[in-house]
Structure 1
Amino acid sequence: MSPPARTQPKAARFRLDRLLASLGYGSRAQIALFLRAGRVTLDGVALHDPAQRIEASEAVFARLDIDGEPADPPPGMAVALNKPTGVTCSRKEAGKLVYDLLPDRFRLREPPLSTVGRLDKETSGLLLLTDDGALLHRLISPKSKIEKRYRARLARPLRGDEADIFASGALMLEGEVKPLLPARFEALGAKEAYVSVSEGRYHQVRRMFAALGNHVEALARDRIGAFALPPDLAEGASLILRAHELEARVRG
């Protein structure tokens, strides 16, 4: 006799006003006003009752519209952002922040969106964010050994021995006592190269070239694991994903 088929656990159900407030659409009082005005629809039918309970599932949210636009995903959301230079990966520092590039309501989501690692202010390219804490820790854990690839433009011509030195596992950075893990190097021209690292030390790629007497003039990350920065994603633009989709794309 074959074992009974497993049933998928049902998604949790929440009050509509509480759920939309947790996604940053406003306070519960503001959500109640949205509902009375017919601004929230499910399958094209207006929802008016703040106390109505709905599932916080992808299947339901695929049918939910706010002001005629698809609702943001429920918790378990991820974002891929093409970060420009001059923008800081922080919530509170002075100057322009990566969160300023996202819709204002994303700042108010609970659980909050957090960056999966960081890019320094003058480094551009692929930055990932998610509200899935467990996924964030899996992706940034040193045990995951997920490579990040950077394109570096240099002030001086390459020496020719960078690939061997970076791959050696013996390169020391100034002020540190532990050598770097092996890194991959690919020359793209006399003053340009790809560097792929599986660590996340402070200003690592810049300091690697500095250790060889060179200076990085421009640095951009174009890949995290198997996830490449989409070529059509303009600087400052973002792509909304589900957390499980992000992990699948990073791990390939």
Structure 2
Amino acid sequence: MKLLRYIANLGYGSRRQVQQLFREGAVTDADGEVLYADDELGDPARVRLDGEPLDPPPGLLLMLHKPAGYTCSTKDSGRLVYELLPPRFRLRSPLLSPVGRLDRDTSGLLLFTDDGALLHRIISPKAQLAKVYEATLAQDLRGDEAALFASGTLMLESEQTPLLPAQLQVLAPRQARLTLHEGRYHQVRRMFAAAGNHVQALHRSRIGGLALDELPEGQWRALDAAAQARLFGAGEAA
């Protein structure tokens, strides 16, 4: 692949705009030697733009600590999760897409990838990657929620099949940690509603073996091969 096409695909601009970067001598190798638009790509890790390494190549997987109030969309009104990423990330080809969604009022771990096969591997029901949520509730827990959620018989309104068993850990009278192995629409909120309660705040802290750890709210981090291995190291079916 030519350097011009590769850099444009990373979202740094249209081909015409990237061509101008080459004319200005902004694209160099790691030793400072000027590169040209029709050069072959070679090792992308050695390419520099204005002295800085290029963004991660296609196959990118990143994690974002999503704050409440942001929508997982490219088009909706209001604040969008893409505003928390470098602007050029919205222009990458292939498209950088959220892996599943968190609703606007839910905070926590959100994954993005431009690798379609990886995206489907993560969300596949076969993977059964555990997703861990912390919920703050409007009323005290009754005490029977753990058994109800673990039963495998709970049927949500308008659903045709019962939920898979889920694990509930009581953290405080109105706080709970819930571990799911599927991802239905607004599932946590609907589960507590079915138990006669209301979720006031919701945070996702883990997917599979991957946790937010110390990533500050609103920040993102690209994930290397070791992090991807941790993602699937806990919960993927054989």
Percent of aligned pairs sharing the same letter: 56
Uncovered stretches (5+) of structure 2, i.e. residues with no partner? 234-238
Tell me the CA shift for residue 44 of structure 1. Answer: 2.4
Q: In the alignment, does 2:197 pair up with 1:210?
A: no
CA contact (8 A) 1:38 1:46 kept: no
Separation in 2 of the partners of 1:70 and 1:98? 24
| Match in the other structure for 1:18 | 5
Whether the 8 Å CA contact 2:27–2:36 is kept in 1: the answer is no
2:70 counterpart of 1:87: yes
What residue identity is the alignment partner of 1:251? F
Q: Conserved in 2, the CA contact under 8 Å of 1:84 and 1:124?
A: yes
2:222 match: 240
Q: Is the 8 A contact 1:77 1:131 kept in 2?
A: yes
Unaligned runs of 5+ in 1: 1-13
Paired residue for 1:187, among 159, 163, 170?
A: 170
Question: Could you tell me how far apart the structure 2 residues matched to 1:31 and 1:46 are?
Answer: 17
> What is the TM-score with the length of structure 1 in the denominator?
0.88
Match of 1:37 in 2: 24
Residue 49 of structure 1, CA deviation: 1.4
Q: Given residue 234 of structure 1, which amino acid in structure 2 is its aligned partner?
A: P
- Superimposed CA distance per residue, residues 53-101 of structure 1 (whole angstroms, 9 cap, x where no aligned partner): 013xxxx233222122221011111110011111111111111111111
User: Which residue of 139, 159, 164 corresponds with 2:122?
Assistant: 139
Q: Residue in 2 aligned with 1:49? A: 36
Query: Are residues 1:27 and 2:10 paired?
Result: no
Mapped partners of 1:21, 1:171: distance in 2: 49
Find the aligned partners of 1:245 and 1:138 in 2 and give their Cα distance: 17
> Root-mean-square deviation (CA), in Å?
1.3
Q: Whole-Å Cα distance in 2 between the matches of residues 145 and 37 of structure 1? A: 50
* 1:114 matched residue in structure 2: 97
* 1-structure distance, mates of 2:211, 2:35: 42
What is the Cα deviation at residue 25 of structure 1? 0.7
Q: Secondary structure at the match of 1:134?
A: helix
Counterpart Cα distance in 2 of 1:93 and 1:150? 25
Q: Is the 8 A contact 2:29 2:35 kept in 1?
A: no
Q: How many residues align?
A: 233
